[in-house]
Chains A and B, each alone.
Chain A
Amino acid sequence: MIDSKQATNALADIDDTVRRVRQSLIYQLSSLIMLMCGALVFAGNVLSWLWPRYGLYIWIGVYVFATLGLFALSAYNYAQSRIRTFDHRYLLTFLLIIAFGIFCCVFGQFTPRQQTTFWPVYIMLFYMLAGVWFGTAFIVIGAAIIALTLIGYIYIPGMPFLLWMAVVNGGGLFVGGLWMRRS
């Protein structure tokens, strides 16, 4: 028989392992979502650079594809792990985040360049908040993308800023997704 200290240590080991499993499941799904979002954001920025007049429609398309993709990844994840991850509550949360972003852009009367900067910084803020609860990888990825976005906003004038954002934001999410997959 063991004493209460050894029993406490055994339970602490169990708690630690369970925490690691949950974090691993979150990272596994998040990495897929980041790879998808990275590809969509990269395409969105490059298409906006090629056809700036259609920027609004391009980004509406990006968000529609992202939402459909989240449902598809959720269904895939459910088939793999029997854990449901993206349901109507997550969809509502996602839509509220987008709605508040649109509210800021309209009432702040942001220029297209400011909007290009605002959205990644705004979305990455939620990544960093997620990191407080689910793992430091989210904080590192969010902080890196925000910093590079602001550097581009300050130092890269004109349309090439969209290409910078394609690499920094789209590429950053993609690389972050691959890194998270290995974590």
Chain B
Amino acid sequence: MAELDDIIHQPLRLKIMAALNALPAEVGLEFARLKKLTGATDGNLGAHIETLAKAGYVSVEKAFVGKKPQTTVTATAAGRGAFARHVATLQEIIAGKQI
């Protein structure tokens, strides 16, 4: 019986993983765009990305575009797998296979 992933299940982290999984593999989202898509504040988003990064679910790349710093967040293969399992578990719960 599959279990929900506690790291992904937190609402904002779920949104972050959903957004990153909507993109092709190895394509990431800029921090500012992710902030707009999830409706989170800078601090909140940063903290949850750090949690996901510590779990190995996302990679964070910091670079300079011109003179502006740019942070890009990308779902790792492990993160994509964990997200897929999490979604499958949610679907099982809805189908009544788990209590």
Q: A residues bordering B, Cβ < 8 Å?
A: 1-4, 7-8, 10-11, 13-14, 17-18, 20-22, 24, 81-83
Contact = CB atoms under 8 A, between A and B. Distances in A.
A17 B19 contact: yes
Which 5 A-B pairs have CB atoms at the shortest separation, nearest pair first? A17-B18, A7-B93, A21-B22, A14-B18, A82-B24
B37 to A, nearest CB: 5
Contacts of B93: 1-4, 7
Interface of B: 4, 9, 11, 14-15, 18-19, 21-24, 26-27, 29, 33, 36-38, 87, 90-91, 93-94, 96, 98-99
A21 B37 contact: yes
16 contacts: A2-B9, A3-B93, A4-B96, A7-B93, A11-B90, A11-B91, A13-B18, A14-B15, A17-B18, A17-B22, A17-B37, A18-B19, A20-B19, A20-B37, A21-B37, A81-B24
Contacts of A11: 87, 90-91, 94
Contacts of B19: 17-18, 20-21
Contacts of A24: 33, 36-37
Contact of B22 (A1, A8, A18, A82): A18
Nearest to A83: B24
Residue with the highest number of chain B CB atoms closer than 10 Å, among A7, A11, A22: A7
Interface of B is mostly: helix
A132 B28 CA distance: 28
Nearest to A18: B22
A81 B25 CA distance: 10
A45 B9 CA distance: 55
A14 B11 contact: no
A11 B99 CA distance: 17
A1 B4 contact: yes
Contacts of B36: 24
Contacts of A14: 14-15, 18, 87
A81 B20 CA distance: 12
Contacts of B29: 21
A20 B29 CA distance: 13
B95 to A, nearest CB: 8
A74 to B, nearest CB: 15
B84 to A, nearest CB: 11
Contacts of A18: 18-19, 21-22
A180 B15 CA distance: 23
Given A7-B93, A18-B21, A81-B27, 8 more contacts: A2-B93, A8-B94, A10-B90, A11-B87, A17-B15, A20-B37, A21-B23, A81-B24
